[in-house]
């Protein structure tokens, strides 16, 4: 019912989620800045947390988790700004394309695109699937999108946990939906998340995908968050994909 959401956007007074100014949706300045984020970040970049958790996959980011991009990701995920999906998908798309191109260059065929799991309670609370919506728009029917990963019950929200607590919280926490096992076996997978911080979600998801027989897993994220703790090295780009 995309048309319905589009009509609702037109009739409901809104503010721009990037800067808070009165606007039907995005103000031109924020839209321009977000789409320029990829350029500002230096192109599609491989990133990795330091230290990387065991099994952390090769990972490409569209931007840094800061400024307007961070505001928009939060507004889309935790607020009511479903209208941000199109813009975030436009940002994700070149990163997704680069990851698929890397897979294809290594001879992998029939890639699957898999959104990282959210806690079930978060999804139910929101009544929608924010990440899945962005991923489906970015894939645009070119590759199948399979929401095959779930968080085991009892997993806490990761926000506010440090690296060690996140790793403990997520140990064995990502599970494959039984009905999807046969669909993943033997396939290359592009795993997608909105933010990478400690890498715990992506490494746990990779473990689950590998366990279901995925032939290779690479990850793409909308944004990479720098560590706040002084004793942890920042999440650093390793170089530009050439």
Give me the residues that bind Zn ion (CB under 5 A), please: 16, 18-19, 27, 30
> How many other CB atoms are found less than 10 A from the CB of residue 186?
12
* CB closer to Zn ion out of 26 and 60: 26
SS3 for 64? strand
Tokens of 157: 């929200």
Q: DSSP E strands: which ranges in the chain? A: 45-48, 59-64, 112-115, 149-151, 174-176, 188-196, 216-224, 236-237
Question: Of the two residues 19 and 161, which places its CB atom closer to Zn ion in the complex?
Answer: 19
CB of 27 to Zn ion, least distance (A): 3
Shorter beta-carbon distance to Zn ion: residue 18 or 63: 18
Q: How far is the CB of 124 from Zn ion (least distance, A)?
A: 30
Q: Minimum Å distance from CB 19 to Zn ion?
A: 3
Task: For residue 174, give the nearest of 210, 135, 145, 201 by alpha carbon.
Answer: 201
Question: What one-character DSSP code corresponds to residue 213?
Answer: T
User: Largest Cα–Cα distance in the chain?
Assistant: 50
Q: Of 72 and 98, which has the nearer Cβ to Zn ion?
A: 72
Closest approach, Cβ 31 to Zn ion, in A, equals 8
């Amino acid at each position: 019912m995309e048309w319905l959401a589009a009509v609702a956007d037109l009739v409901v007074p809104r503010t721009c989620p990037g800067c808070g100014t009165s606007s039907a949706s995005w103000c031109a300045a924020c839209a321009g800045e977000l789409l320029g984020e990829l350029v500002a970040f230096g192109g599609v970049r491989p990133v990795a947390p330091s230290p990387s958790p065991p099994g952390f996959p090769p990972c490409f980011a569209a931007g840094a988790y800061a400024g307007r991009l961070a505001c928009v990701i939060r507004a889309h995920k935790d607020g009511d700004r479903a209208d941000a999906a199109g813009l975030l998908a436009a940002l994700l798309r070149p990163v997704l394309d680069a990851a698929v191109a890397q897979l294809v260059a290594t001879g992998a065929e029939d890639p699957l695109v898999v959104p990282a799991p959210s806690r079930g309670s978060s999804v139910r609370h929101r009544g929608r699937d924010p990440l899945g919506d962005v991923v489906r728009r970015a894939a645009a029917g070119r590759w199948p999108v399979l929401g095959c990963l779930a968080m085991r019950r009892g997993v806490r929200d990761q926000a506010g946990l440090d690296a060690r607590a996140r790793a403990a919280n997520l140990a064995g926490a990502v599970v494959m939906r039984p009905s999807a096992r046969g669909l993943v076996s033997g396939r290359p997978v592009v795993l997608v998340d909105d933010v990478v911080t400690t890498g715990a979600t992506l490494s746990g998801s990779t473990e689950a995908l590998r366990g279901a027989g995925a032939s290779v897993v690479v990850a793409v994220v909308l944004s990479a968050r720098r560590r706040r703790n002084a004793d942890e090295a920042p999440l650093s780009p390793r170089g530009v994909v050439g």
